A = this chain, B = another copy of it.
Amino acid sequence: MEHHYPSRLLEKAVGEFAKLPGVGRKTALRLVLHLLRQDVESVNAFAGSISKMRNEVKHCSKCHNISDTDICPICADMRRDSTVICVVENIQDVMAVENTQQFDGLYHVLGGVISPMDGIGPGDIEIESLVNRVSEGNIKEVILALSSTMEGDTTNFYIYRKLSSFNIELSVIARGISVGDELEYTDEVTLGRSISNRTPFDKK
């Protein structure tokens, strides 16, 4: 449906919102009209926080997670175990693992996975910097925590080959039946992995 916008300023703002993923022109208009009803200060705070974030946010020079400082709070935290690195695809994954409260090592954010279909090769993601971190010497274990997809598996294998010459433990997060899932409805590949990766009953 073509729209007759009563204002070019409105039309421009709607157009900008509609560029966001999952936001259509109708939703964009609804959001813009909502902002139009808010006071000027709140809207300027909204817009300002976005500009400021984009202009000032950095990437941690060690783990490539986003950060307000050159070294992110996780890498800078001396209470964490700096001999263990958990390799993840992106920032959301760091947040997901942090939310489990089961990990107190450091991270390495690849910024993607190897995906020939999308033209993403090993050189496009942070693998070399991972190898450099390991080659510096005081890493005991690297945990590969990528998605259980073809691309994730390819990336795991590539990293395995790059790190196999180092004297470190290399592990992959467990794949198995989800907590709360019924056996009957679990796919056979997952169930197979669950059985072969079984753990002693009293472990947890």
A interface: dominant SS: helix
Also in contact, A9 and B56, with CB within 8 A (given A16-B45, A36-B66, A46-B19):
yes
| Contacts A6-B67, A72-B6 given; does A36 touch B51 at CB 8 Å | no
Q: Which of B12, B23, B51 contacts A53 (CB 8 A)?
A: B12
What B residues does A12 contact at CB under 8 A? 49, 52-53
* B2 and A99 contacting across the interface, CB-CB below 8 Å: yes
Asked if A49 and B13 sit within 8 Å, CB to CB, the answer is yes
Cβ–Cβ contact A31 & B40, under 8 A = no
A54 touches B35 (CB 8 A): yes
Which listed residue, B4, B23, B27, touches A98 by the CB 8 Å rule?
A: B4
Residues of B within 8 A of A60 (CB): 6
Instruction: Scan residues 30-52 of chain A and give those whose CB is less than 8 A from a CB of chain B.
Output: 30-36, 38, 40, 43-52
**Chain A interface: which size bin?**
35 or more
Judge if A179 is at the interface, Cβ distance under 8 Å: no
Q: How far is the CA of A92 from the CA of B14 in the complex (A)?
A: 13
Assess whether A92 is in contact with B33, with CB atoms less than 8 Å apart: yes
Pairwise interchain contact A16-B56, C-beta atoms closer than 8 A: no
Smallest CB gap from A107: residue in B? B6
Contact in complex: A55, B67 (CB < 8 Å) = no
Quick one: given A2-B99, A10-B66, A46-B16, are A92 and B36 in contact (CB under 8 Å)?
A: no
Pair B66/A50 contact, Cβ less than 8 Å: no
Q: Does A95 count as interface, using CB distance less than 8 angstroms?
A: yes
Give 6 closest A-B pairs by Cβ, nearest first: A43-B54, A47-B47, A47-B51, A13-B53, A4-B98, A9-B53
